[in-house]
Amino acid sequence: MSDWVPYPPEFAQRYRDAGYWTGETFGAFLADRAARFADRIAVVDDENRWTYRELDARATRMAHGFVARGISPGDRVVVQLPNVAEFLTIVFGLFRAGALPVFALPPHRLNEISYFCSHTDAKAYVIADRFGGFDYRTLADQLDVPSVFVLGDPGRHTALADVPAASGELPEVDPSSVAFLQLSGGSTGVPKLIPRTHDDYLYSVRESADICGLTPDSVYLAALPVAHNFPMSSPGVLGALHAGSRIVMASAPSPDVAFGLIEQERVTITGVVPPLALLWLDSAARRPEDLSSLDVLQVGGAKFAAEAARRVRPELGCAVQQVFGMAEGLVNYTRACDPDDLVAISQGRPISPDDELLVVDAEGKPVAEGEVGELLTRGPYTIRGYYRADDHNEVAFTPDGYYRTGDLVRVLPSGHVVVEGRAKDQINRGGEKVAAEEVENHLLAHPAVHDAAVVAAPDAFLGERTCAFVIATTPVTAPALRGFLRERGLAAYKIPDRVVFVDEFPHTGVGKTSRRDLRATLTARLRKA
Ligand code: AMP
Ligand code: DBH
């Protein structure tokens, strides 16, 4: 049993021969771009404005600091930071120290963070002192992790600013090794960790920057939490660094923060989830900021309705690009040259000519062309297995290495993919993924809960919200159950929006009732209501 599933040698060879995997590491990537774009501005936030050269020097200093504090090659380090320029110095510092960042998101709480730390045997946890009204040091206090490094006031932990002056050789890093662990929304009891290699990820970054037309004159606004795969790599902050563009870090994606930054920094491209796109569309006419620099609004993470996509050009004055991606790998983009109609109705086509897409029925047989089925995929930047998840990998991947996306799609003759629904037990809450089983398990831990089923309720704004059907044995209220989940340290976006108490669950079909059938029946009931 090993920690991750490498690409089979014949595939790895093919991807190298095709020129997709170039043998570049993240550490070398930044050094190379710093040499090329030295005095151009790489990243801007509320406090900093660093050139490529400065960013590179700071990342090296950070790497030495991590080494001096006992971080060794191969160590896992959970990173949970807001959108700040230091995110890049820390992450590239870890890459150069040979360590693997584990990308937590700002809303994660004790439940998620303690799992990431224990499942990866993390050596350290990196946080900002406070952000969004939450003191991350209080979370760190409850963790069993060897080191905690804090950006800002460290409290009783270690300040990142106290970097020991160190030099010397940094470790050699193998480009075919795992560079970091991304998170999956998942559909099971515990979140899944996604091992991405330098080779495979940098391929997707370079191609994404190219597809999205980034140049040294582009300005990318990181509006979504930057540790998420979309703003990190599609083309995101890494694509921006690849192209020598400027990154602007937004502390929040709301119009009151993002619009001002777009005006001040002359932002040309950014990416948001559908509910934010709707909010931006509704705000644009009422707000004073000048958004005329914006060329492209990318929308992804959940399905963006065609009617909404058609509003982007007239109301925001920029093009829309649909992005259908997954941290496991495959990313699809609509292209600038695609006809408007295709951009409105489809979620784009894959990055690579070697992305293999199969659309299959419930038996796993390919459907007829253009029919709806589950999307399976493999390719030069799609993982072959989750991190330390041998049992789950048996079901999440086919024997010949395809990832089962759980997405129901159809493929148009042009190769564009249309997302039609979902075959996985997950709620997509405006781009934030909630695994039904994980929330059910927490509800079941409450003494008054006999059984629980969590399903998606349709919602005009978020697309879906979570609804928990609960069979209680003794009287309990919805606020009490929500409070219980919060006390268990569950991220806020996973707390059910609605709790419906029922006496029993509907019986589905004959014989044994599966959780999946039960959820489907309850979902159908909600949609009729
Ligand atoms: P994750 O595996 O957690 O990275 O989440 C990826 C999933 O998000 C995909 O498998 C889809 O279910 C969903 N998703 C991402 N982008 C889109 C999109 N543009 N339209 C519909 N669903 C999307
Ligand atoms: O939802 C996602 O995970 C996602 C969406 C758009 C993604 O990982 C991506 C682009 O790279």
Rounded CA-CA distance 475/472 in Å is 7
Above 90 in pLDDT, residue 186?
no
Choice between 164 and 34, residue whose per-residue pLDDT is larger: 34
Above 80 in pLDDT, residue 162?
no
Which is the closest atom of ligand 2 to the Cα of 228?
A: 8
**CATH class of domain segment(s) 434-528:** alpha beta
Task: Report whether residue 373 contacts ligand 2, using a CB cutoff of 6 Å.
Answer: no
Which is the closest atom of ligand 1 to the Cα of 347?
A: 19
**CATH class of domain segment(s) 15-349:** alpha beta
Rounded CA-CA distance 289/115 in Å is 42
Task: Give the tens place of pLDDT for each residue, 200-254.
Answer: 999 999 999 999 999 999 999 999 999 999 999 999 999 999 999 999 999 999 9
Task: Give the tens place of pLDDT for each residue, 371-410.
Answer: 999 999 999 999 999 999 999 999 999 999 999 999 999 9
Rounded CA-CA distance 324/241 in Å is 22
149 CA → ligand 1 middle, Å? 32
Task: Give the tens place of pLDDT for each residue, 334-360.
Answer: 999 999 999 999 999 999 999 999 999
What local confidence, expressed as pLDDT, does residue 509 receive? Answer: 61
Above 70 in pLDDT, residue 65?
yes
Q: What number is the average pLDDT over the span 453-480?
A: 96
Give the residue among 113, 165, 163 at the shortest CA–CA distance from 134. Answer: 113
Above 80 in pLDDT, residue 23?
yes
Tokens read off for 142 = 């409850």
Task: Report whether residue 95 contacts ligand 2, using a CB cutoff of 6 Å.
Answer: no
| DSSP line for 286-298 | T-----TT--EEE
510 CA → ligand 2 middle, Å? 38
Above 80 in pLDDT, residue 127?
yes
The domain ranges of the chain are 15-349, 434-528
Give the residue among 234, 211, 224 at the shortest CA–CA distance from 275. Answer: 224
Task: Express as a percent the part of the chain with pLDDT over 90.
Answer: 92
C-beta of residue 331 within 8 angstroms of C-beta of residue 351: yes
What local confidence, expressed as pLDDT, does residue 58 receive? Answer: 96
Tokens read off for 417 = 């993919």
- Helices within 397-477 (DSSP H only): 436-444
What local confidence, expressed as pLDDT, does residue 1 receive? Answer: 61
Which is the closest atom of ligand 2 to the Cα of 232?
A: 11
Residue 526 binned pLDDT confidence (cut-offs 50, 70, 90): confident
What local confidence, expressed as pLDDT, does residue 510 receive? Answer: 58
* Ligand minimally distant from the alpha carbon of residue 187: 1
356-360: strand order across its sheet = 356-360, 373-378, 403-411, 417-422
Above 80 in pLDDT, residue 507?
no
What local confidence, expressed as pLDDT, does residue 13 receive? Answer: 98
Q: What number is the average pLDDT over the span 443-450?
A: 97
Above 80 in pLDDT, residue 480?
yes
325 CA → ligand 2 middle, Å? 4
Q: How far is CA 417 from the centre of its chain?
A: 20
**Mean pLDDT of all residues in the chain?**
96
Above 90 in pLDDT, residue 508?
no
Rounded CA-CA distance 367/373 in Å is 7
Above 80 in pLDDT, residue 164?
no
273 CA → ligand 1 middle, Å? 10
Nearest CA to ligand 1 atom 7: 326
Task: Report whether residue 101 contacts ligand 1, using a CB cutoff of 6 Å.
Answer: no
Task: Give the tens place of pLDDT for each residue, 274-314.
Answer: 999 999 999 999 999 999 999 999 999 999 999 999 999 99
Rounded CA-CA distance 517/387 in Å is 29
Q: What number is the average pLDDT over the span 149-164?
A: 90
